[in-house]
Structure 1
Amino acid sequence: MKNKINNSSKEITENSQLPAAHAMLYAIGMKKSDFCKAQVGIVSNWYEGNPCNIHLNQLSKKIKSSVISNGLIGIQITTIGVSDGITMGTSGMKYSLPSRELIADSIETAIQSHFYDGVIAIPGCDKNITGVLLGILRLNKPSIIVYGGSISSGSYQGKKLDIISSFEALGKKKSGKITEKEYINIIKKSCPGPGACGGMYTANTMSSALEAMGIMLPYSSSFPSTSKEKKEECKIVSYYIKKLLKKGIKPKHIITKRSIENGIKLAISLGGSTNLVLHMLAISKAANIDFSLTHFQKISEKTPVIGNLKPSGNFLMEDIHNHIGGMPVIIKYLIQKGILSGHCLTITGKTLYENVKNAPDLDFNKQIIYPIENPIQKNGHIKILYGNIATEGSVAKITGKEGKFFRGKAIVFNSEEEANQYIINNQLFPNTVIVIRYVGPIGGPGMPEMLKPTSYIMGSGLGKKIALITDGRFSGGSHGFVVGHITPEAQLGGTIAIIENGDSIEIDAENNVINLEIEENEINSRKNRWKAPLLKINQGYLYKYAKMVSSASQGCIT
């Protein structure tokens, strides 16, 4: 039989020595005539505890129906997720980044053990997105990712709201800028339904990047979660998975160094999250592609920021869909301007440019996207800083609104909880560098996001007057003068571990430098006196993660 597309599943279905396996396939509803059909694992990160994920099972069912109508067998599978918004600022956030590895492991396990021929993955939140891509890269079977879509905006007193509005509302309430009633109403109205957080936070950063990388269908990143277009995408995806099966096109044909560069450039041009760095390093490793922090720096230096999108700008992903016409419009523009390469293969079987060439031309009148000739910032907002605090690198998100140089006196905290308490009690002073340490991938463990402290600072109106540095990481919703991913982390004896209250710290985003301004012999003396604290966890998954995880500069892979 020509163009046979059940090359993996036939190891089970066409093996007469596996009667129990065949009996179980009959038990799930398969017929003898189904045994020759290709089997597609339809993996979603569905669970009811998070708006980003609550609707994914509905999308999965639509995809399964489409797969069956196209002569394939669809097998629904669910994997885990962690709500960053719910766990933020709690010990639960320690599980967020590690969940990425569990997602990848579970997809690899379920698909490989059952010999499915292909994968359609339906992620919601950002660790979902990267986790499913890591899994399908390991498998390297024909695969497509369907993004769950972005949430609609909320509204209160004529102003658009999103999840970051609720975080920053606490800082505003504590500083007397809003009343208790206004505070409660903002919280109630920030998240009106299903979908991933609405700004250019990490979920939308990664979905945009993956569309530019060619592993999603055109428009997947910008179709809203509840839109008719998202439902239509679920109906047509089976046509493309069957095409990939027939042509033998696999993820590693699509995820190349050039396509990764495309994803990074698009994300930077839109003002995306610093988590992009961790995730792209991990994706590169899974695809066996040489990629480092140095590559990021070179790309960022040459990529202008043109997206006026939250958290640093004014607009949401829904505005890209409603007012611009979708992500392909932006991708087409960046190809025309020579920022992106249009020659990369995508899951449609066509090149990236072929996918978007018929998209409308970009309309700048809404000021959602700025022209390359008049960008928001001439080069990227993601800065890779080195210095005696970060000898192996750190990641800053500097849009220019906060300035590009900061010098201040350190106030040091050995946990996020201590820092949050300090900030929320309004004990803030200008020209301060807040240091939050022992929250790295090992010391955390799990490298939790520091959205609460950055939101409190921004909400109090001190975003330009206070810097925050950490060996943890930041949410895509974080903004302000912030530097994270400091390596070596404190738990491993990095310089951040020996910073003391009152020390002067210099952050120079022009020259990409972060330094503790004390004598080198004093640094060495303090390091000689330093002793590593015990790990905070001594059993369970986080303990295993802390023992296995690489540094942030290597992507926190296990």
Structure 2
Amino acid sequence: MKRSDVMTQGPERAPHRSLMKALGWTDKEINMPMIGIVSGYNEIIPGHVQLNRIVDAVKAGVREAGGNPVTFPVIGVCDGIAMGHTGMKYSLASRELIADSIEVMATAHPFDALVLVPNCDKIVPGMLMAALRLNLPTIVVSGGAMLAGHLPGGDKRGMSLSSMFEAVGKHAAGKMNDEELLQWENSVCPSCGSCSGMYTANSMNCLCEAIGAALPGNGTIPCVYSARERLAKESGYKIMELLEKNIRIRDIMTPDAFENALKVDMALGCSTNTMLHLPALAHEAGFKIDIFKANEISAQVPNLCHLAPAGKDHIEDLNLAGGVMAVMKELDKKNLLKRDLMTVTCHPISDSFDKAHNWDNEVIRPIDNPYSATGGIAVLRGNLAPDGAVVKRSAVAPEMLEHTGKAKVYNSEEEAIAAIFSGKIVSGDVVVIRYEGPKGGPGMREMLSPTSAIAGMGLDKEVALITDGRFSGATRGASIGHVSPEAALGGTIALVESGDEIHIDINNGVLELLVSDEVLEERRKNLKPHQPKINSGYLARYAQRVTSANMGAIFKEN
């Protein structure tokens, strides 16, 4: 019996079938397996504006393989367009809405299987969270990455969205005039697709391959390539095979598969936002990931790629070099991966990476010649972050891996940006931005604007930023986010005062406020409860339910 039979079979379902016939469906289509295709299409996200093309290719594959494809939409926020204003408070919060809406749709209309068609940031994990709740045969096929931008007569290495945000800092510092800024604005984002560096969207799309939830190529084939449509058709064929063999998403996304994904995360130098999304996905799969496991894995797994913003390469370069499977093949040379894990190919993951080839030893360093012996992400701990804080170590300049400086404290992103642009931040400072966590924001904004301004002004090798909010995957420098407990929960970050010294030791996982316990206790007595700037609507409800960043900013169970 198919799952969809409960709404299509028997005399008592004649009213249901009559509504389906109003859709133009034939009896044959009504009796076919019903495949829900979850589309992230909208006309505001450059990574999603082309998703109808991917959906159409998936539908063609499903029909050819004997299924009835049924498309339904979900919302999506463009993090780049939402950046630096109130809209960013809704980005992470949208992940839970996406998951809930898919659960509603796929339960009210019991589909037999799901094809997830996302591309950007929170949409990928939001879709997967719902799929893990429902535990149906499921496959992910994303929309693909944007091509790198190029200036006429400029550097042939290419540019990405982070270049544009840093240009704003250069402009503010008088290093770029209005005409140059406009030329960059016209050149940085040359095509649709998810932004061209190893930012959050591409990180999650690559990890979908590594964890076995997507076919090889999902994370790296550029949006505008015809190979992306072929991949979508193949995904349509494959979902019917997954359904026939009853291979469900929880059969694929197991604890061992998550460990493989974390190792690939370290090798690629993925966005720190993976440290929010992987724990949230594991929670939906029925187990827990301790974010400090990232340090254990980082100690084993070298960093093999320096993709933008950490380096000069972009997703299209990773694709030409052999993609995610080539990275996994390098890791397998040191027996770092579990080989026999089931994937949406209906074969073990090793079948895919054994066939891969590393075509470019600079884009994907050989395992014996890595960029660094340790992985791309580090989780720090100390009295300033007893429950952890996260940094993209692979994007930190060597001279900032250990740093002690005086704090300059701001209670919002806007205050910090104003201070940066007015020249109040100087070499050696540690900028602290608080009350931007999941509950305190509410919504845990990304801080790409301040980090990019500092980089654009040439201070990224001299200034650190610390926040209970988070950083975009496009961020580089000593940018430490996810400080837990957050300020709104009375975490130590709420007690920091300008002039306090903060010690950062990324290699040893240390984040310490150099203030005595006695002084901190005295400050705590005078700490006033935080009043969020938004206290109505969805974000008010979100703030009541959301947990700390170290738990993945999931909702409380009760």
TM-score range, shorter chain: over 0.9
Match of 2:359 among 358, 363, 379: 363
Match of 2:121, as an amino acid?
D
Asked if structure 2 preserves the Cα contact closer than 8 Å seen for 1:393 and 1:553, the reply is: yes
CA distance in 2, matches of 1:550, 1:227: 40
CA distance in 2, matches of 1:358, 1:517: 52
Q: Is 1:111 matched up with 2:109?
A: no
Number of the residue aligned with 2:49: 54
Range moving further from structure 2, 191-200 or 335-344: 335-344
Match of 1:267, as an amino acid?
D
Match of 2:200 among 182, 199, 202: 202
CA distance in 2, matches of 1:420, 1:339: 42
Number of the residue aligned with 1:345: 342
Q: Is 1:550 matched up with 2:547?
A: yes
2:292 is paired with a residue of what secondary structure? Answer: helix
Query: What's the CA shift for 1:44?
Result: 1.2
Q: Is 1:152 matched up with 2:150?
A: no
Query: What's the CA shift for 1:193?
Result: 1.7
Number of the residue aligned with 2:58: 63
Query: What's the CA shift for 1:426?
Result: 2.5
Match of 2:123 among 113, 124, 128: 128
Q: Is 1:476 matched up with 2:473?
A: yes
2:438 is paired with a residue of what secondary structure? Answer: coil
Query: What's the CA shift for 1:538?
Result: 1.8
Aligned residues with identical type, % of pairs:
39
CA distance in 1, matches of 2:444, 2:43: 25
Query: What's the CA shift for 1:90?
Result: 0.6
Residue by residue over 1:336-389, the C-alpha shift from the partner in whole angstroms, topping out at 9 and shown as x without a partner, is 3322222111011100011232223x1344x11212222111112311111111
Provide structure 2 residue ranges, at least 5 long, that are not aligned to the other structure: none
Residue by residue over 1:192-233, the C-alpha shift from the partner in whole angstroms, topping out at 9 and shown as x without a partner, is 121001111111111111101000011111111111110111
Asked if structure 2 preserves the Cα contact closer than 8 Å seen for 1:256 and 1:289, the reply is: no
Match of 1:163 among 161, 174, 199: 161
Match of 2:278, as an amino acid?
M
Asked if structure 2 preserves the Cα contact closer than 8 Å seen for 1:308 and 1:370, the reply is: no
Cα distance change on mapping 1:510 and 1:257 into 2, 3 Å: same
Query: What's the CA shift for 1:174?
Result: 1.6
2:386 is paired with a residue of what secondary structure? Answer: coil
Number of the residue aligned with 2:230: 232
Range moving further from structure 2, 14-23 or 520-529: 14-23
CA distance in 2, matches of 1:493, 1:356: 46
CA distance in 1, matches of 2:488, 2:313: 38
Residue by residue over 1:58-96, the C-alpha shift from the partner in whole angstroms, topping out at 9 and shown as x without a partner, is 211221122122211100111010000001001000000
Query: What's the CA shift for 1:179?
Result: 2.0
Match of 2:85 among 65, 72, 90: 90
Asked if structure 2 preserves the Cα contact closer than 8 Å seen for 1:402 and 1:480, the reply is: no
1:486 is paired with a residue of what secondary structure? Answer: strand
Number of the residue aligned with 2:183: 185
Range moving further from structure 2, 253-262 or 507-516: 507-516
Q: How does 1:313-324 map to 2 (within 5 A)?
A: 313-322=311-320, 324=321
Number of the residue aligned with 1:143: 138
Match of 2:283, as an amino acid?
K
Residue by residue over 1:476-504, the C-alpha shift from the partner in whole angstroms, topping out at 9 and shown as x without a partner, is 01110111101111111111111111011
Q: Is 1:9 matched up with 2:4?
A: yes
Matched pairs, number: 550
CA distance in 2, matches of 1:224, 1:427: 41
Number of the residue aligned with 1:241: 239
Match of 2:107, as an amino acid?
Q
Q: Is 1:377 matched up with 2:375?
A: no
CA distance in 1, matches of 2:11, 2:525: 67
Q: Is 1:26 matched up with 2:21?
A: yes
Query: What's the CA shift for 1:189?
Result: 1.0
Asked if structure 1 preserves the Cα contact closer than 8 Å seen for 2:267 and 2:327, the reply is: no
CA distance in 1, matches of 2:107, 2:495: 46
Residue by residue over 1:500-522, the C-alpha shift from the partner in whole angstroms, topping out at 9 and shown as x without a partner, is 11011111113211111111110
CA distance in 2, matches of 1:261, 1:126: 21
Query: What's the CA shift for 1:458?
Result: 0.7
CA distance in 1, matches of 2:398, 2:462: 8
Q: How does 1:218-229 map to 2 (within 5 A)?
A: 218-229=216-227
Asked if structure 1 preserves the Cα contact closer than 8 Å seen for 2:79 and 2:121, the reply is: no
Provide structure 1 residue ranges, at least 5 long, that are not aligned to the other structure: none
Asked if structure 2 preserves the Cα contact closer than 8 Å seen for 1:402 and 1:481, the reply is: no
Match of 1:44 among 20, 39, 44: 39
CA distance in 2, matches of 1:424, 1:33: 64
Match of 1:33, as an amino acid?
K
2:150 is paired with a residue of what secondary structure? Answer: strand
Number of the residue aligned with 1:529: 526
Query: What's the CA shift for 1:294?
Result: 2.4
Cα distance change on mapping 1:475 and 1:124 into 2, 3 Å: same
Query: What's the CA shift for 1:57?
Result: 1.4
CA distance in 2, matches of 1:364, 1:226: 22
Asked if structure 2 preserves the Cα contact closer than 8 Å seen for 1:208 and 1:263, the reply is: no
1:411 is paired with a residue of what secondary structure? Answer: strand
TM-score by length of 2: 0.97
CA distance in 1, matches of 2:18, 2:421: 61
Residue by residue over 1:284-323, the C-alpha shift from the partner in whole angstroms, topping out at 9 and shown as x without a partner, is 101112311222221122211110211111100001123x
Range moving further from structure 2, 297-306 or 142-151: 297-306
Root-mean-square deviation (CA), in Å? 1.2
Match of 1:472, as an amino acid?
G
Number of the residue aligned with 2:281: 283
Q: How does 1:503-522 map to 2 (within 5 A)?
A: 503-522=500-519
CA distance in 2, matches of 1:331, 1:15: 49
Asked if structure 1 preserves the Cα contact closer than 8 Å seen for 2:150 and 2:159, the reply is: yes
CA distance in 1, matches of 2:292, 2:530: 31
Query: What's the CA shift for 1:252?
Result: 0.4
CA distance in 2, matches of 1:69, 1:413: 57
1:93 is paired with a residue of what secondary structure? Answer: helix
CA distance in 2, matches of 1:150, 1:305: 22
Query: What's the CA shift for 1:394?
Result: 1.0
Q: Is 1:213 matched up with 2:211?
A: yes
Number of the residue aligned with 1:450: 447
CA distance in 1, matches of 2:10, 2:262: 44
Query: What's the CA shift for 1:557?
Result: 0.7
1:461 is paired with a residue of what secondary structure? Answer: coil
Residue by residue over 1:21-59, the C-alpha shift from the partner in whole angstroms, topping out at 9 and shown as x without a partner, is 111111111112223210001111110001011001121
CA distance in 1, matches of 2:351, 2:207: 17
Match of 2:131, as an amino acid?
I
